[in-house]
Amino acid sequence: MIVDTCYKLLRNISFFKKQIGNSYFMIERWSWEDLRLFVGVARAGGLAGAVETTRSSAPTLSRRMLCLERAMGKTLFNRTRDGYDLTASGHELLALAETMQNGALRIDRWKSNAETMPLVKVAAGAWTATFVARHLTGLANPRIPVRLEIATGISQADLLRRQANLGLRNRRPEARGLAGQKLVRVEFAIYGSLSYIRDRQELIDQKRLQACAWIAFSPSGPKPPSAVWLDDYLHNDPDIVCSSAQAMLEAVLGGAGLCVLPCFIGDAENRLARASPAIASLAHDQWLVSHDEDRHQRQIAYVRKALATLIRGHRALFAGERPAASPDGL
């Protein structure tokens, strides 16, 4: 009797599945990976912008977002020509997903710290990174062992996503979740080698400056403000363009022409001399930025304090109050 009943039940289920489809019995579930992709699309505002950060193709992202919406039973995006706009449900899920992502990152850091000496990554522009690298001995503390990584480049690392622990930036952080402290004022000026300027004492005349050879720093990506300023100043292309800061510095030191440098680089080099007053439009404040949740971690807090002490200790150099060596007669 029981066998007959079970057989009938299975036969009825089979018939029912044929009528409404097997998908009824397959409850679609969300996955951790889909949430990771969702955060990438939500932050980028569309598929194209999320391709690089998620390392997934646009068709894959589109398919996974549809699957996630089906699994959640909610519409997460308003799809428009301009991209993917979050719905109210999408905003709610993003907040939850970011909390989960931050928790996973903390687990990764905990695991990493348990296995190796903790790593603190500092993101900075090319010139600021050069300055920090020249003063690394001032950051060492044997009582707080830490590995230090200095990441350079014009594009800023995303501190909210922990692409770096600390950032040295030229503006106050605006994103919620970031903490910043103002360090010093940074000034810029025109520099050339001692011999180049000694042989051209007429450089004091601003009009004659434009007749000199010029060297520009133009890395991949957006131009730094100094390169934009030089374009406006010259009204034509510079004579030499360097994609690395160090290459430009070597070219200037070799007497190839003039360039724009922050004073904390130009004035610290006794083989260079200024060929202009400070350039007011390029001056900015230097900020030390960190993730608000991470800045109190022992190693990060130590590096943060050490960097602030180092840079503030050279306030006069950053502010252009220690002029570079002047050639005879200039």
Instruction: For helices 126-134 and 245-253, give the axis angle rounded to 10 degrees.
Output: 80
Looking only at the bridges linking them, the beta strands covering 178-186 and 284-291 are antiparallel
Architecture of the domain delimited by 117-185+284-318 = 3-Layer(aba) Sandwich (3.40)
Q: What is the mean pLDDT of residues 157-173?
A: 82
Domain 187-280 sits in CATH 3.40.640.10: no
The CATH number of the structural domain formed by 23-101 is 1.10.10.10
**Which pLDDT does position 112 carry in this prediction?**
62
Residue 329: pLDDT over 50: no
Which amino acid, residue 219?
A: P
Looking only at the bridges linking them, the beta strands covering 119-124 and 83-86 are unpaired
> Which pLDDT band holds residue 307 (cuts at 50, 70, 90)?
very high
Give the containing element (helix H, strand E) for 17: helix 2-20
Concatenating the DSSP letter of every residue in 256-267 gives S-BEEEEHHHHT
Predicted confidence (pLDDT) per residue in 179-191, tens digit: 899 999 999 999 9
Q: Do domains 23-101 and 187-280 have the same CATH topology?
A: no
Average pLDDT, the chain: 81
Tokens, residue 131: 């300055």
**Which pLDDT does position 18 carry in this prediction?**
44
Residue 212: pLDDT over 90: no
Instruction: For helices 298-312 and 126-134, give the axis angle rounded to 10 degrees.
Output: 90
Residue 10: pLDDT over 70: no
Query: Residue ranges per domain, the chain?
Result: 23-101, 117-185+284-318, 187-280
State the alpha helices, DSSP H only, in 180-325. 194-198, 206-209, 225-234, 245-253, 263-266, 298-312, 315-318
Predicted confidence (pLDDT) per residue in 119-135, tens digit: 888 989 889 999 999 98
Predicted confidence (pLDDT) per residue in 69-122, tens digit: 999 999 999 998 888 999 999 999 998 888 888 877 777 767 665 556 778 889
pTM, 2 dp: 0.62
Least confident of 82-86, 108-112, 237-241, 307-311: 108-112
Q: Alpha-carbon distance 225 to 239, whole Å?
A: 18
Tokens, residue 20: 């409404």
Q: Are 111 and 59 in contact (CB under 8 A)?
A: no
Residue 68: pLDDT over 60: yes
Q: What is the mean pLDDT of residues 50-77?
A: 90
**Which pLDDT does position 187 carry in this prediction?**
97
Q: Alpha-carbon distance 121 to 138, whole Å?
A: 17
**Which pLDDT does position 252 carry in this prediction?**
96
Residue 2: pLDDT over 60: no
